[in-house]
Amino acid sequence: MTALMTQHAPVLLIAIPLLGAFAVPILGKLGRGARDAFSGLIALLTAALAGVLAANVFGQTGAASLYVLGGQGFQLPLPSGMSVPVRIVLQPDGMSAFMTLITALILLAAVLFSFSYWRDRSGGTLYYSLLFLLVAGVFGMELTGDLFNFFVFLEVTSIAACGLIGFRVWRKTSQEAGFKVMALYTLSGLFVLLAIGLLYGQYGGLNVAYVANALSGGTLDLIALGLLLAGLALKAGAVPLHMWAPDAYGEAPAPVSAVLVANSQASLYGLFRVLFTLYGPAIRTETAGWLLITLALLTIFVGVTMALIQKDIKRLIAYGAVSQIGYMLLGVGVGLAVSVAKPDYGFVAMQGGIFHMLNDAACIGLLFLCSGAVIRAAGTSDLDRMGGLAHSMKWTGALFLIGSFALAGVPPFNGFASKFLIYEASFRLSPFLAVVAILSSILLLAVFVKAFQAAFLGAKPSVPVRRTSAGMMIPMVALALVVVVFGLFPGFFLDRIVTPAVNALWYGRDAYIGLVLGGG
Amino acid sequence: MNLGNMPFVAAALLILLGIYAVLFKRNLIKIVLGISLVETGVNLLLVTLGYRTDGIAPIFTLAPRAGPMVLPTPQALTLTSIVIGLATTALLLSFVVWIHRHYGTLDVRKIKELRG
Amino acid sequence: MNGITSGYGAWNPIAWTLLFLGVLAVGFLVRASGRKGCKRGTGQTKVFLSGNEEPEEAGSLHVRGGHLYWGMVEGLSGYFRRVCAAHTGVLSDYAAWFVGVLGLVFVILVLGG
């Protein structure tokens, strides 16, 4: 059984949430308990599979492995002697396994939180269905080695995400947010499809390794790169394409906002896969790298300054999330800009950027879950109307503080570990980058101090406050434990998890291509 | 009849028309139509990529003549894309219905309660 | 033991935490060797509001979230005015930003090689 799971882990990671998505409505007919138990089982199974995949991939120090869907051989020998890869392959390498770990962690936290979040509301069955569909799409985006398959899963996540954003149909702002986000996601997805079509028309293949091998870097390829970059950057939330993000994260139910962050990070992963593995040395990586760095600086600064003036707690955290995407773009952009000469600080920058993906997912997940508890307690999400929650919700306040400090990069939490690497490495490329990054981290601390003061400090409110239930507290404490443990032992996790992922992007292009084309 | 590059030009025109509709039209339904036009343009481009001159349909059984066949892969891609387009258009239109119920208008310049 | 090194610096969180706890301990020692004699519930622990009376409804003293950082926002008001005006909330403007950035990326990538 375990051998089966190990061998088929990549496809099971997509299939089991998909099964969950379609089976939950049936089990929902049997009652809430059956539905909750089934959802928990699916989430646990998915997390176990992600762990198995990670153990496999990281055990081989980040070497890619190949999983062919639907058959053993994926090479079609032509009469001329050449062979063409014809099947859809899943190619989990170090970076993919890293992303699946992040997604599995956020899924577990969100599903655990959802048990108590939906206890006294109706409609939970369809919510779980959409949530599992979203996660299946995210896993698909992270594991696939085929360009069109990536597009299909991209659209699956778009539809599921917008269904969840507009879930509460009685709120007019939810519908507005759902429509805006869906229109932008669809438009960007169509441009991604256009780019894939251009690449297919030129090279006759859809497999990432095949196209990467054949890529020549002409004008049409650069146009395809531009389309892919803009489309995936919109879904990731880079400024100035970020304007859907506060609407989306603000209107979705609290546990969904955490999973939407994982969704954005999966698009960011797609962007990195395109830039490093698909194009790689075929383009002038300096140009692309500095483009990423410019987007990153804009994102960091505009994200955090817009967060300063927000009056809604979830929109505030959403702008914080947008700002942190900028840090990931900065780290990897510095790495991309110097990826020809490959100096040491390029590797360190990529380590920082990619480690920050995990740290940011954990911290923002924690903050969104805390905000869900706060909105429940205060009855409103307006910062001008809440206050004094720390009298009755001490633990939630402490966890909110841990999440804020970690995200702002205060030692000894995990945010500092990744931001330290980003600061040091980007300083080596240009001191201005590190200055903007550090100042924006300080501003982010100010932003969360504002949120904490507004929500938790102050006199006791006159109406009694609904305290956070134990079911909501457990996933929050789990995420806070992740934050603290990753902060106290960053070296361990950096060596085991992050460095193989960086190796897969930084050095692993030839191995990635060779696995599909060289072998058989 | 040799069509030359006409299908590519048509696809590009459809995409540009769709972008124009999304950017400059006020009615929400026209914006959804614009997105649908972009989709159609991309699908047309995908199908055209598979065409080979004087090619026949890629079916071996009862083929009319031996000779070049058009590529079947882009046709599969286009079918998938059409189905995805169906789902996204359905979701967009259901959002439009709810927006009309809540806001009473379909003017995109008036639906800006979430801003800043 | 564990810790991360970037090329030019090192960070060891265990060492930092121990140092932090040590400094906290020193702080507590200093506090413990001070004057005892704080009587709770008397005037010694009442909130001092510059000599004013504490209002009955203490909730009115809470500075609400929207008013924080007023000075900073005022100082950067030129920036905020322009950037907030760019976040119009209209979908067509968001799509215009997307198409604009797409065009810019085309120009940069094709010209930059």
Task: Spell out the domains of chain B, with CATH numbers in brackets.
Answer: 6-103 (1.10.287)
Closest CA in chain A for residue B101: A172
Query: Would you say residue C82 lies in a domain?
Result: yes
Closest to C66 measured CA to CA, from A514, A426, A311, B95: A311
Q: Which two tokens stand for residue A269?
A: 């992963």
For residue A384, what are the CA distances in angstroms to A312, A454, C88, C96?
Answer: 8, 7, 22, 33
Contacts (Cβ under 8 Å, ≥6 apart) of A208: A91, A145, A146, A147, A273, A277, A278, A512
Q: Which two tokens stand for residue A54?
A: 């990670």
Rounded distance between C-alpha atoms, residue A374 and residue A394, angstroms = 11
pLDDT recorded at residue A102 = 96
Q: Which of A86-95, A507-516, C44-53, C98-107 has the lowest mean pLDDT?
A: C44-53
pLDDT recorded at residue A143 = 93
In the predicted model, what is the mean pLDDT of residues A276-285? 89
Domain carrying residue C78: 74-113
Which residues on A lie below 8 Å from C73 (Cβ)?
Answer: 308-309
In the predicted model, what is the mean pLDDT of residues A302-309? 94
Q: Which of A110-124, A131-145, A343-357, A429-443 has the lowest mean pLDDT?
A: A110-124
Chain C: closest CA distance from residue A444 (Å): 13
| Residues listed for chain C | 113
Closest CA in chain C for residue B21: C92
Greater confidence (A464 vs C86) lies with C86
Query: Would you say residue C84 lies in a domain?
Result: yes
Q: Does A223 touch chain B (CB under 8 A)?
A: no
Q: Could A428 and C8 be called an inter-chain contact, meaning their C-beta atoms sit closer than 8 Å?
A: yes
Contacts (Cβ under 8 Å, ≥6 apart) of C81: none
Q: Could B92 and A148 be called an inter-chain contact, meaning their C-beta atoms sit closer than 8 Å?
A: no
Number of domains in chain C: 1
Q: Could B92 and A186 be called an inter-chain contact, meaning their C-beta atoms sit closer than 8 Å?
A: yes
Q: Does A176 touch chain B (CB under 8 A)?
A: yes
Mean residue pLDDT of chain A comes to: 91
Strands C4-6 and A89-90: unpaired
Residues 30-89 on C with a CB inside 8 Å of B are 84, 87-89
Closest to A504 measured CA to CA, from A276, A285, A288, A331: A276
Asked if residues C101 and A241 have their Cβ atoms less than 8 Å apart, the reply is yes
Q: Could B108 and C88 be called an inter-chain contact, meaning their C-beta atoms sit closer than 8 Å?
A: no
Asked if residues A213 and A199 have their Cβ atoms less than 8 Å apart, the reply is no
Closest to C110 measured CA to CA, from A68, A267, A64, A288: A288
CA-based R_g, chain C, Å = 28
In the predicted model, what is the mean pLDDT of residues A250-268? 95
- Could you say which DSSP state residue A207 is in? B
Asked if residues B19 and C99 have their Cβ atoms less than 8 Å apart, the reply is yes
Q: Does A186 touch chain B (CB under 8 A)?
A: yes
Asked if residues A106 and A231 have their Cβ atoms less than 8 Å apart, the reply is no
In the predicted model, what is the mean pLDDT of residues A469-497? 92
In the predicted model, what is the mean pLDDT of residues A444-464? 88
Please give the model's pTM, rounded to 2 decimal places: 0.94
Chain B: closest CA distance from residue C68 (Å): 17
Query: Would you say residue C50 lies in a domain?
Result: no
Which residues on A lie below 8 Å from C17 (Cβ)?
Answer: 412, 488
Of A241, A387, A489, the CB nearest to C59: A387
In the predicted model, what is the mean pLDDT of residues A12-36? 93
Give the distance between the most distant pair of CA atoms in chain C: 76
Which residues on B lie below 8 Å from A176 (Cβ)?
Answer: 99, 102-103, 111, 113-114
In the predicted model, what is the mean pLDDT of residues A412-420? 92
Q: Map residue A494 onto helix, strand or coil.
A: helix
Tally DSSP H helices, then E strands, for chain C. Answer: 4, 2
Give the model confidence (pLDDT) of A355-384 as tens digits. 999 999 999 999 999 999 999 998 888 888
Percent with pLDDT over 70 in chain B: 97
Interface probe, candidates B109, B113, B114, chain C, greatest C C-beta count within 10 A = B109
Q: Could C92 and B24 be called an inter-chain contact, meaning their C-beta atoms sit closer than 8 Å?
A: yes
- Answer whether residue A343 shows pLDDT above 60: yes
Q: Map residue A312 onto helix, strand or coil.
A: strand
Quote the distance between the C-alpha of residue A183 and its chain's center. 20
Query: Which stretch of DSSP H or E encloses residue A416?
Result: helix A414-429
Give the model confidence (pLDDT) of A120-169 as tens digits. 888 889 999 999 999 999 999 999 999 999 999 999 999 999 999 999 99
| pLDDT confidence tier of residue A485, bands split at 50, 70 and 90 | very high
Identity at B18, one-letter amino acid code: G
**All chains having 3 or more CB pairs closer than 8 angstroms to chain C:** A, B
Query: Would you say residue C17 lies in a domain?
Result: no
- Answer whether residue B67 shows pLDDT above 90: no
pLDDT recorded at residue B61 = 85
pLDDT recorded at residue A520 = 43
In the predicted model, what is the mean pLDDT of residues A186-195? 96
Asked if residues A60 and A50 have their Cβ atoms less than 8 Å apart, the reply is no
Asked if residues A383 and C64 have their Cβ atoms less than 8 Å apart, the reply is yes
Mean residue pLDDT of chain B comes to: 91
First to last CA, chain B: 55
Query: Would you say residue C109 lies in a domain?
Result: yes
Q: Which two tokens stand for residue A1?
A: 């059984």
Q: Map residue A89 onto helix, strand or coil.
A: strand
**Angle A344-378/A470-488 helices, nearest 10 degrees?**
160
Asked if residues A386 and A378 have their Cβ atoms less than 8 Å apart, the reply is yes
Query: Which stretch of DSSP H or E encloses residue C9?
Result: strand C9-11
Burial A262-301 (b: 16+ CB within 10 A, else e): bbbbbbbbbbbbbbbbbbbebbebbbbbbbbbebbbbbbb
pLDDT recorded at residue A123 = 83
- Could you say which DSSP state residue A468 is in? P
Asked if residues A128 and A246 have their Cβ atoms less than 8 Å apart, the reply is no
pLDDT recorded at residue A72 = 67
Strand partners, A382: A312
Give the model confidence (pLDDT) of A33-84 as tens digits. 999 999 999 999 999 999 999 988 888 765 677 888 876 666 777 777 667 7
Give the model confidence (pLDDT) of C34-92 as tens digits. 877 777 767 677 777 777 776 666 666 777 877 888 888 999 999 999 999 999 989 99
Of A162, A172, A200, the CB nearest to B102: A172
Which residues on B lie below 8 Å from C91 (Cβ)?
Answer: 31, 108, 111
- Answer whether residue A341 shows pLDDT above 90: no
Percent with pLDDT over 90 in chain A: 69
